[in-house]
Structure 1
Amino acid sequence: MKLLIEGGRRLQGRVRISGAKNSALVLIAASAISGGEVILDNVPKISDVLTQLEIVRAIGGRASWTGENTLCLDWSGPLEGELPYVHAKKLRASNLFLGALAARQKRVKIPLPGGCNIGSRPMDLHLKGFHLLGYQVSMKHGFIEARAGKIEGNRIYLDFPSVGATENIMMAAAGTPGITVIENAAREPEIVDLAGFLNAMGGRVRGAGTDVIKIEGVSEFRGARFSVIPDRIEAGTYLIAAGISGGEVTVENVITRHLQPVIAKLQDVGLDVAAGEDRITVRRRGDLLPTDVKTLPYPGFPTDLQSPMMALLSLARGTSIIVENVFENRFQVADELKRMGAKIRVKGQTAVIEGVERLYGTQVRATDLRAGAALLLAGLAAGGVTEILQAELIARGYEKVVEKLGALGAAVRVAGDESGEPGAKSV
C-alpha cells in the first residue's frame, strides 16, 4: 500500500487518542487466563490487534466487536496449547501467549515471534523467568515449549528491564503457587495496565510501575471488564506532527504523566506545550531548536518515538544527537529521510542530525512501523508530494491515521483513492 502526502499544510485542531497498542496486545493475550468472558474497552482497531485476534480464534478462544472499540473475548472452551506459525510470525506480541497459556494450562508451545525488524529481541530473559518458576523450557526448530514441572514462586532478577519478559513472567507467576518477586522489572505504563487487569480477573499483583513487582499466585481466575489506557506513542506522534508542520494540535484522551519525557524534549526544541490532566496542546511559534535525545526504558524517552523525533530534528536550526539504547536497528529510517534532503550521519548507535531549511517530497519506503510514522511526519513538512511505500506498516500501530490527520488539515490519501478529500480512505 502507498500513501501520498502533499506537504506544507499547518495542522490545526484536536485529535482523540486511541487505546494503547502495546497494552491492548498483552491484555488480549492475558484474557486467556480468565477461562471465561472478558470485555475490553478502548481497544484500537489496528492490524496488530486484528492479528492477535486471529491467534485467539486459532487456539480456541472467541472474539467479537460489540461496539466501535469494545471487544468481547470468550475463553470458556478448551484451548490448543500450540500457536500457529502462520499468525505468530506476523507480530512480536504473539509471544505474550507464552505466559498467558502457561498460567491457564501449564503447557504451551509457541513459534519464535515475528514483528518489525528493529533489532535483536531475544527471548532469553523470558525463558530464564520460566525456568526459575519451575517450568521445563526448551527452544528448538524455531519453537519455544514450556511444561510445568514442580512450579512455585521464586525471586527473578532481570538483567535488563524488558517489557515483554516482565509481562510474560507476571502472567505465568499469577497462576503459580507461592510468591514471585520480579526485580529490575520494566516500569512502563503498559505493565501497570496489565497488573490492573490481572487483579480484575482475581490475580494478586503489587508494585507494578516500580522496579520490584510481587505476585502471589492464585488457583482461580474470573472474567472481567477493563479499559485499555490511551496510547502514549500515538499521542507523542501527533504532538510532534504539530511541531514539524508549524501548527497547533491538542491531543485528547491522554494520561499526561505518561508523556512527561516527550513533553520535556518538545519544550527543548522550542515548542510551546500546555498540559492538562487528560489533554496536551503543542504550538509552534518560531524556529525549531536542536537538542540531544537518548532512548531509555520508561520513564526515559521512548524508543518508539525516536524515529519521529529524528524527522522533527531534521528541520532544527543546528546539530542534534540521538543515541539509541534499546534497539540497534532503529536508525534504518535515516537513509529514507536523507532521500528527502535530511542531513544525518549514523555511527553505531549514534545519529548526528544537522538541521536543514526544508525537506523535499519524494518516494520513500517504510522499513518498520515507527519509521513509517516518521516518514509520514516528514511528508507533512516537505515541499511537494511524498509517496510512502509499504505504508501498511503504519496501520499496525495507528488507528484511522489518514482520517485523523485529514481532520487536522493534512492532505494525506491512500494511492488509488481519487476522491480528492483529505483523509478519504481508512488506514
Structure 2
Amino acid sequence: MPEEVYCIEGGKQLEGDVRLSGAKNATLPLLVAACLGEEPSILDNVPLQLNDVQLQIQLLQLMGAKIEISQIHNSVTCCRGQLSGGEAPTLVASGIRTSLLLLGLFAGLGKSVTLPSPGGCNFERKYDLHISGLRKLGASISEDSKSITLSSSGLKGTTVDFYVPTTTGTENIMIGASLAQGTTIIRNANTRPEIQQLGQLLSQMGARVRMQNRIVEVRGVKSLRGGARISVMPGWDEALTYIVGAGITQGSLRILDFDLSNIAEEARYLRQAGIELFEWQGDLYVSGKGKKESFDIFTAPYPGLDTDAQPLFTVLGLVIEGSSVITEMRHANRFQYVEQLRCFGADIGVYGNTAIVQGGKPLVGADVRATDLRGGAALVLCGLAAKGQTRISNIYEIERGYENLPEKLIALGATVIRERSDHDTNSVLQ
C-alpha cells in the first residue's frame, strides 16, 4: 500500500529565520495534568499538528475529559469533565507512550483504569518506576503481557526513591501526588525543563509543588480548582535539529524567541564542535560556517546532554574529519537508526552503548526508513548533507514530534517534497 515519504535533494545550505513550535514533551504531560482541574485551564502554543499530541487529546476525550481546541490560536482548554476511568481504547492508547500518564491521573482521582502496553518509539524503555512509585502512594496495580490495570481509592503522600531519573515516571508521580493526602517527595527525580513547567501548571491549578535538582516535593490537596493558563515552552529538540542542520550544511540561522537556557550542555558541545551560537534580543543566532572539530559526548539526566540529542550529534559527527564518540547512558537499543545512516555511506561502528563515527567521508542520498522519532530526524539531517536525492519512509514517526518540518526546511532553503510513494518502501529497506 502506498505511503507518504519525504524526498530531499541534498547539498543546500540552511539560511534564514525559523520559529519553533511548542515542545511535544512538555505538551503531553501538561494536557493530562490540566484534566485534573475542576475548572478549565488553557494551554497556549500547543503543537496541534503533531501526531502524538492529537492522540493524547483523543485519548483524554474518550476517557471523559472535556477538551476544546482552537486551531486559530494553537490553544487547548481542558478540565476534568466526566473522567470516570474504565478501559482505555486500545487502538489510541497503544499508539503513544504517555498513555502511561493516565495511571497517575486516575490514581489521584481515586478511580480505576486499564491501559494497553504503551506505544511510542521502538526502543526499550521501562516503566517499572511508574508502577512502584504509584504503588508506594497506595494504588493497586496489576499487569500482564498486554495490559496494566490500576485501582485507587485515594493516595497518601510518601517518599519515592528512583534508582534512575525517569522523565515520564517523575511526571506520573507528580500528577498523582497532587491529589494525595499529605506530602510526597520524589528523590533522584528528573527535573528537566519540561517537568519544571509541569510543576508550574500544577501550582497554578492549586497544587503545592517545590523543585530543585533531582528533588520534587508535592504537597497534596483535596481538589485542584484548575483555572490556570500557561504557554507551552518552545521545543528545544526542534531547535537543536535546526542548529545541527546549519552545522552540517555550512549555513546560518536565526531561531526566533529562543535561548540556550534549556540546552546549556548541548550548547557547550556544539561550540566545541565549531558551531557558533550567539544570543541577542531574545533570539538565537547560529553559524555553521566555521571549521569543525570531532567530539566525545555522553548522555545523562538533566542538566546533562539529553538522550534525544544523541542521534542529531551522530549526524554532525559524519561531516567532521576524524573520530567522534557518542556514548548512550540512558536507553538500551538507542542506536537502531545507525543501520539506516550506513545506507548513505556513513562509517559508524556500534559497540554496546557506544557509537564511533568516522567523519568526513562522502555521503550519498539513499532510500531509508525512520526507525523512531529522533532517528528519523537524523535521517532528514543526513539527507540534507548528502549528495543527490534521499527518500525517507515511515515519516509518521518523524511527525510524532516535528510540526510542519518540510515547510520550515523549505523556508530555510532546503529542497524537501512530501509525496506519495509509488512502491512499498518497507520491502526496499528491509
Residue aligning to 1:3: 6
Give the one of 80, 98, 104 matched to 1:93: 98
What TM-score do you get using the length of structure 1 for normalisation? 0.94
Aligned pairs (5 A) from 1:167-206? 167-206=171-210
2-structure distance, mates of 1:313, 1:172? 42
Question: Displacement, 1:118?
Answer: 2.0
How many aligned positions are there?
Answer: 415
Q: Secondary structure at the match of 2:326?
A: strand
Give the one of 336, 351, 356 matched to 2:355: 351
2-structure distance, mates of 1:251, 1:25? 23
Give the one of 251, 259, 262 matched to 1:258: 262
C-alpha deviations, 1:102-159, integer Å up to 9, x for none?
A: 212343322221111122x222111111111112221125222222257311111111
Q: Secondary structure at the match of 2:267?
A: helix
| 2:210 is the alignment partner of 1:210 | no
| 2:37 is the alignment partner of 1:34 | yes
- Structure 1 gaps of 5+ residues are 418-427
Give the one of 134, 137, 141 matched to 1:133: 137
Residue aligning to 1:423: none
Question: Displacement, 1:80?
Answer: 3.2
2-structure distance, mates of 1:205, 1:31? 15
Aligned pairs (5 A) from 1:241-390? 241-276=245-280, 278-390=282-394
| 2:31 is the alignment partner of 1:19 | no
Q: Secondary structure at the match of 1:257?
A: coil
1-structure distance, mates of 2:112, 2:36? 13
C-alpha deviations, 1:4-46, integer Å up to 9, x for none?
A: 0011111111111111100100111112211332211011121
Worse-matched range after superposition: 198-207 or 81-90: 81-90
| 2:237 is the alignment partner of 1:233 | yes
CA contact (8 A) 1:294 1:301 kept: yes
2-structure distance, mates of 1:405, 1:389? 17
Question: Displacement, 1:76?
Answer: 2.5
Seen in structure 2, the aligned counterparts of structure 1 residues 23 and 150 have a Cα distance that, compared at 3 Å, is: closer
Give the one of 59, 79, 83 matched to 2:84: 79
Q: Secondary structure at the match of 1:250?
A: strand
- Structure 2 gaps of 5+ residues are 422-430
2-structure distance, mates of 1:200, 1:33? 12
Give the one of 41, 56, 66 matched to 1:52: 56
Give the one of 43, 46, 61 matched to 2:46: 43
Letter in 2 for 1:99: G
Residue aligning to 1:109: 114
1-structure distance, mates of 2:184, 2:168? 17
CA contact (8 A) 2:84 2:111 kept: no
2-structure distance, mates of 1:229, 1:396? 17
1-structure distance, mates of 2:325, 2:42? 44
CA contact (8 A) 2:36 2:79 kept: no
CA contact (8 A) 1:30 1:97 kept: no
2-structure distance, mates of 1:287, 1:339? 26
Residue aligning to 1:155: 159
Worse-matched range after superposition: 145-154 or 80-89: 145-154
1-structure distance, mates of 2:183, 2:77? 31
1-structure distance, mates of 2:294, 2:274? 9
2-structure distance, mates of 1:286, 1:173? 49
C-alpha deviations, 1:372-396, integer Å up to 9, x for none?
A: 1001011111111111111121111
Task: Please provide the CA RMSD for this pair.
Answer: 1.6
2-structure distance, mates of 1:259, 1:78? 36
2-structure distance, mates of 1:188, 1:14? 27
CA contact (8 A) 1:32 1:101 kept: no
Query: Percent identity, aligned pairs only?
Result: 38
2-structure distance, mates of 1:416, 1:149? 50
CA contact (8 A) 2:110 2:151 kept: no
2-structure distance, mates of 1:48, 1:148? 27
Q: Secondary structure at the match of 1:344?
A: strand
2-structure distance, mates of 1:375, 1:78? 40
Aligned pairs (5 A) from 1:388-427? 388-416=392-420
C-alpha deviations, 1:161-183, integer Å up to 9, x for none?
A: 10111110111111000011111
CA contact (8 A) 1:174 1:216 kept: yes
What TM-score do you get using the length of structure 2 for normalisation? 0.93
